[in-house]
Amino acid sequence: VDSLLGTLSKAQTSFMCLFSGQGLGNDEDQRRLRLENENPKGSSGDVQWTNVLLALNVGAYLAQLATRGKLLLWGAKVNNLIDQGQFWRLATSSFLHANILHLMVNCFSLYNMGPTMEKLLGKQRFLAVYLGSAVAGSSMSYFFSQSPAVGASGAIFGLVGSSALFFLRHANLIKSGAEEAANIVRIVAVNIILGSCIPGIDNWGHVGGLLGGIAVTWFLGPAWQPELREDGKCILRDEAPVFRLIGTKKTG
């Protein structure tokens, strides 16, 4: 089994542990697809952006402390200030946190989910999903919630949505991919319901981030599909809409 299939199996294990605690099937299930030993971008390599994003979140919080909250006031999602043209708040609010516990929870979530998603999506697509989800979450919060808001949870929910779509898209490559996508959706639903019952939780930001992550991943991919070559070897072709739009196809 090539590196991509191995990464997919590791991803399934990671998310099963995170969401359901189940294990993989037998070796025959994991070996059911043989691929040419060519690495699609994003199937291996360092988790560069995960570490950068963690450092940015921690650094921003230290800057908040150093400025005695002035940075928080400058960058939080505050609707009436956004109405006055301070649109940067839709992005900066995702790198600020209300307190140390808020920061730790979000950094822990990013630390656990980020590396796997960065390897599966590739560095550029991972960053696009994270930032797109952050802005989408802040934007939905802006339209549907008048309360000030900060935190990376919208972006993290976007990674969760991205993972669900990834598993669903690649159900033919990953054992129980569709089932794992359904498990993720159920866990997200539980979190949204619990968030509705806890004061101070920006559920609109979570929902917006989730939808943003799904939308960006749907458009940018990856959407790997097996293709049999004339020499009898099977390769993966990325059928993401972005490649159809620009008239090219990406192969692995």
Residues annotated as catalytic (active site), given as ranges: 153, 206
- Which stretches of the chain are assigned E, i.e. beta strand? 224-228, 234-238, 250-251
- Report d(CA 133, CA 210) in Å as an integer: 7
- Report d(CA 85, CA 79) in Å as an integer: 10
> 235 near 227, Cβ under 8 Å?
yes
212 to 206, 207, 243: CA distances (angstroms): 10, 8, 19
Alpha helices in 94-152 (DSSP H): 100-121, 123-144
- Any residues with CB less than 8 A from the CB of 97 and at least 6 apart, and which? 57, 60, 61, 64, 103, 106, 150, 151, 152
